[in-house]
């Protein structure tokens, strides 16, 4: 992902060089542009990392609810993020949504929903069931009641956790449902700043209240016995905390 975005920076650097050769650019403008683009690339890279971490965390939460799992450790970091370890051994670092983002990029609306007919949780995208390459819904927790291991290698019998990325050319969010073997364009513009259509900030969301995050709020109970995850749509999931004596 990082390498893909870096070629954008290189392209701008070449354009700046050409501009200087023509002596028609502001003397210092190219430096500002490079700095702004560099910051933008880092921002989008961080956004992708955070989104994939949130998806993994939501998988762990649903798995814990389905199989009476629990959290073994919660660490509040200096930057306000939480590092949470589940009994499966997996650790995720989440940012409390109330910290908010600057609203200059659109996040992907990926979440989970429970099917009343079978009681199972499945991934959703834009409010619709997320389907894999076979046209089947993707379980968000366990697979047929079995331990939902991270199936990013696409092996049969494993739960495949969706992964996302931002295409550096189209600036669209893409999603993989087969362990990053193939990617599908979601049509959601992640970065509309100076976009192809000239629509500055297209699909950008106001991050002032953190609602651009999957997790709006993370709350540890006063007695330290449970942790509650509040999603952006207001739904809550509470998982017990059990630490070693």
Give the per-residue pLDDT at 172.
93
Mean pLDDT, residues 118-127: 94
DSSP string, 146-174: B---B-TT--TTSBPPPEEEE-TTT-EEE
The most confident of 5-9, 193-197, 219-223, by mean pLDDT: 219-223
Residue 88 confidence (pLDDT) above 80: yes
Sequence-distant (≥ 6) Cβ neighbours of residue 13 within 8 angstroms? 34
State the Cα–Cα distance between residues 24 and 126, nearest whole angstrom. Answer: 46
With a pLDDT cut of 70, the percent of the chain lying above it is 66
In this predicted structure, what is the pLDDT of residue 210?
38
Number of domains in the chain: 1
Question: Does residue 245 lie in a domain region?
Answer: no
Q: What is the pLDDT of residues 38-75, one digit of tens each?
A: 677 788 888 899 999 999 999 999 999 999 999 999 99
Say whether pLDDT at 163 is over 80: yes
CB 166 within 8 A of CB 177: no
Residue 32 domain flag: yes
Task: Provide the pLDDT confidence category of residue 192 given band limits of 50, 70 and 90.
Answer: low
For residue 64, give its domain range.
2-240
For residue 140, tell me if it sits in a domain: yes
Which pLDDT band holds residue 33 (cuts at 50, 70, 90)? Answer: low
Residue 42 lies in a domain: yes
pLDDT at residue 204 above 60? Answer: no
The number of residues in the chain equals: 245
* β-bridge mates for residue 113, sequence order: 122
Q: Is 9 inside a domain boundary?
A: yes
For 213, the token pair is 């995050």
pLDDT value of position 80: 86
In a domain, 164, yes or no: yes
Is-contact 230 60, C-beta < 8 A?
Answer: no
Q: Is 150 exposed, middle or buried (0-12, 13-18, 19+ CB in 10 A)?
A: middle
Q: Tell me which residue of 238, 211, 231, 215 sits closest to 53, measured CA to CA.
A: 215
The mean pLDDT of the chain is 76
Give the model's pLDDT for residue 202: 39
pLDDT at residue 135 greater than cutoff 70: yes
């Amino acid at each position: 992902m990082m390498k893909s975005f870096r070629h954008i920076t290189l392209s701008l650097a070449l354009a700046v060089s050409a501009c200087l050769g023509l002596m028609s650019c502001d003397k210092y403008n190219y430096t500002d542009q490079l700095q702004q683009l560099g910051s933008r690339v880092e921002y989008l890279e961080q956004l992708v990392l955070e989104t994939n971490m949130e998806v993994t965390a939501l998988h762990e939460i649903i798995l814990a609810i389905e199989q009476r799992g629990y959290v073994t450790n919660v660490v509040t970091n200096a930057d306000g993020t939480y590092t949470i370890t589940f009994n499966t051994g997996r650790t995720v670092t989440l940012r409390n949504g109330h910290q908010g983002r600057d609203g200059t990029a659109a996040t992907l609306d990926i979440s989970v929903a429970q099917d009343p007919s079978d009681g199972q949780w499945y991934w959703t995208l834009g409010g619709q069931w997320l389907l894999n390459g076979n046209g089947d819904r993707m379980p968000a927790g366990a697979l047929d009641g079995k331990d939902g291991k991270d199936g990013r290698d696409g092996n049969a019998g494993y739960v495949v956790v969706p992964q996302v990325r931002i295409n550096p050319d189209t600036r669209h969010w893409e999603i993989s449902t087969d362990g990053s073997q193939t990617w599908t364009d979601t049509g959601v513009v992640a970065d509309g700043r100076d976009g192809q259509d000239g629509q500055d900030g297209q699909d950008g969301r106001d991050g002032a209240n953190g609602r651009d995050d999957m997790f709006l709020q993370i709350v540890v109970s006063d007695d330290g016995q449970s942790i509650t995850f509040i999603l952006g749509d207001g739904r809550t999931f509470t998982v017990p905390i059990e630490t070693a004596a």
